[in-house]
Structure 1
Amino acid sequence: MIWGLFLLSAPEVFTRPAIYAAFASTTPLFLIIALALTFVIITGEIDLSFPAVMALSMVSFTWVFQSGGFLGVAFLAAIVTGTLAGAFNGFLVAKMGIPAVVITIGTSFLFRGLELAAMAGRGVPLTDPALDGLRAVLVGRVLGGIPMQFFWVVVIAIMLWYLLNRTRFGSHVYLIGDNSTSARLMGVNVLWTKMGVFALVGAMAALAGMIASFEVSYFWPTLGEGTLLNTIAAVFVGGTSPFGGAGSMIGTLIGGFIIGALNAGIVSAGINAFWTQAVFGLVIVVSLVMQVVIKNRVKN
């Protein structure tokens, strides 16, 4: 329906393949993280630090690569950095009992500050021919121009769907979100499970950071800024409960495509881009209000 409205408003834009190619290349940048963030929100927590983790992970990548390390080692260094940053968040939330929204704001400033200090505010071009192999894997075009990152979203969605719905870990995620005290009494290791879901967000943020950087062949110190709203909106529009205990990969996938369509449609239809944040904010508010209303009706 949303896409139909944009098609009617600007048919000359939305009947051309270019808009769909752009949609397939930009939507994965936040949707990859949104799929992992769904796990965190199902447990009743939130992570606001992943934009900074994207940039911090790229620092590790560039340092290892520029130091003469193998490309595969540089890739792993980025993933490990993101994973450790996420696990650190999870430890502070689950072990120390600090509210996730507060601590991840703090670690966001910490991670961003470390990244800016390490790079001295300078960007790094990613044009070395030695990077071409990884570039092709992450953001190359196949099958007539379809971006590889679109396929990565599909692969990751399938893997995380299996993790959430067909493993003990996924069951523990739902149990913790439904009632963490009951989950603990049932033998669920709440600490390790929460550290695991936060680490998953960190790892996916690192991957998204590399995809975003290779897409433009440059690592900017501001990498990740602007992804927070899209990512959170995708999760909540997809039906994940802000109260925990409910959510799905399919829902987040659909939510991400809706947000991506809105993002592309607002700009391509000639609407002032300054309205984008207002629209996304409204979408988040409406989706949350609807979930609360539905929850209250079910209770009654």
Structure 2
Amino acid sequence: MVILAAAFLFFRAEQLFYEQPTVVRVTRNVRANGLHVGIVGVMVILWIAFIIGSPETFLNSQIYRALMTSIPYWGIIALPLTMVVIAGEFDLSFPSIMAVGMVAFFEVYTRVDSLGLAFAASLISGFLVGLLNGVIIVRLGIPSLIATIGTQFFWRGVVEVIRAGQGESMTFTRDTTLRNSLVNKVFDYFPAQVIWMVIVGVVVWIILNRHRFGAHVYLIGDNEDSARLMGVNVGLTRIMLFALVGLAAAFAGIIQSVDNWYFWPNLGEGYLMQTLAAVFLGGTSVYGGTGTVFGTFVACFIIGGIQPGIVAVGLTGYYTKLIYGLIITASVAMHTMMRKRLK
């Protein structure tokens, strides 16, 4: 439960069930309901198409267990990343933070032979790297897109220098509490990592919808100047958002490495496109101010199902990135048109 405790570390407990103003809450709920209906409709249509195209694959429960195993590797990051984008920012460094967290894990484990301390060190390192991202962006005034591109390359380089390009086996986690709690099967079917993804989703939903911090995130995304006039500490809020993404990235990196019995220094490199695609497909506006956790959660399973769906219906996997690109472009175009209509 370390990740849950860390997520609430900087939030006052008495603010947990903060109620937003009625007009703001109703307006946001109307928008959210429309987004939810749309994204669920997309998922249903896509799954029907896949079932018709390859019933032997998509009527088999094994495909769903496989999706629930692999999607949390990046879906856990997509959920807090939604908050960053709602605030009008971007974070492209999380793939490297996944690897940084695992380097910290091994550095501590080889010295103290404690999985618990190694796990904590990984989460703390991810949180601190994310915090540093936020400080660079807020204090130096560098656009988050540019800053996190730079820090992604920097931290990947740090990992490769420390590890000298060498991976590490994770077989020492066999039959340990760490492995059993993170990736074992629940009820002999559900991978534990999808349960953790649900837990992270609930935490992020509470922060966004029942906590003053979440109200500040939406205010910043809607209008930063207005948020400042209302007394919101815009800089601190943004810094904390990047720290939470770093925390989630480290946690996801542990899950992926433990589940696959191995850590590679290039951990996370394949997760950038689908994570961003899930956030945008889920209804989060690239301009900020709009987005929901539920939308991102559902979109993760849509994006995660695209590659096996494409292969199952007879196409090659090369179409996957093409479709990811189309989804991101179409989502941005849609929000741009909506933004122009509202002006």
TM-score class normalised by the smaller sequence:
over 0.9
Query: For 1:55 and 1:45, how far apart are their aligned partners in 2?
Result: 22
Q: Deviations over 1:5-44 (max 9, x none)?
A: 1111111111111111111111111111000101111111
Q: Which of 262, 279, 291 is equivalent to 1:247?
A: 291
**How many angstroms apart in 1 are the aligned matches of 2:316 and 2:153?**
30
Identify which of 242, 247, 253 aligns with 1:209. Answer: 253
Q: Cα distance, 1:136 vs. partner?
A: 1.2
Q: CA separation in 1, counterparts of 2:115 and 2:316?
A: 41
Indicate the residue corresponding to 1:24 in structure 2.
Answer: 68
| Letter paired with 2:134 | G
How many residue pairs get matched?
Answer: 299
Counterpart residue identity of residue 146, structure 2: V
- The two structures, once aligned, show a CA RMSD in angstroms of 1.2
- Cα distance in 1, alignment partners of residues 312 and 252 from structure 2: 24
Tell me the alpha carbon deviations over residues 194-247 of structure 1, each in whole angstroms, 9 at most, x when there is no partner.
110000000000011011111111001110011000100000000001101111
Distance 1:20 1:58 in 2: 28
- Residues 215 and 267 of structure 1: CA distance in aligned 2, closer, same or farther (over 3 Å): farther
User: What is the TM-score of this pair, normalised by structure 2?
Assistant: 0.85
Q: Does 1:172 align with 2:238?
A: no
1:286 partnered with 2:330: yes
Q: How does 1:1-300 map to 2 (within 5 A)?
A: 1-129=45-173, 132-299=176-343
Question: Aligned partners of 2:120 and 2:311: how far apart in 1?
Answer: 36
Q: Tell me the distance in 2 between the aligned counterparts of 1:242 and 1:130.
A: 42
Q: CA deviation at 1:296?
A: 2.3
Moved more, 174-183 or 223-232: 174-183
Structure 1 segments of 4+ aligned residues over 3 angstroms from their partners: none
Q: Structure 1, unaligned stretches of length 5 or more? A: none
The equivalent residue for 2:33 is: none
The alpha-carbon deviation at position 267 of structure 1 amounts to: 2.8
**CA spacing shift, 1:131–1:90, aligned 2, 3 Å:** farther
Separation (CA, whole Å) in 2 of partners of 1:20 and 1:165: 30
Q: CA deviation at 1:102?
A: 0.6
CA displacement at 1:193 relative to structure 2: 0.5
| Alpha-carbon distance in 1 for matches of 2:253, 2:286 | 26
Q: Kindly provide the CA deviation profile for residues 257-276 of structure 1, in whole angstroms up to 9, marking residues without a partner as x.
A: 21112133123333211111
CA–CA distance in 1 between the matches of 2:341 and 2:201?
A: 31
Following the alignment from structure 1 to structure 2, what is the Cα–Cα distance between the partners of residues 266 and 95? 44
Return the offset for 1:82: 0.6
The answer to which of 182-191 and 31-40 deviates more is: 182-191
Q: Secondary structure at the match of 2:166?
A: coil
Matched-pair contact (CA < 8 Å) for 1:71–1:131: no
Deviation at 1:129, TM superposition (A): 4.7
Shift of 1:144: 2.4
Q: What letter corresponds to residue 317 of structure 2 in structure 1?
A: A
Counterpart residue identity of residue 209, structure 1: G
Cα distance in 2 between the residues matched to 1:157 and 1:82? 18
d(CA) in 1 for partners of 2:206, 2:66: 29
| TM-score of the superposed pair, with normalisation by structure 1 | 0.97
Greater CA drift, 126-135 or 199-208: 126-135
Aligned partners of 2:107, 2:311: CA distance in 1, in Å? 36
Percent identical: 46
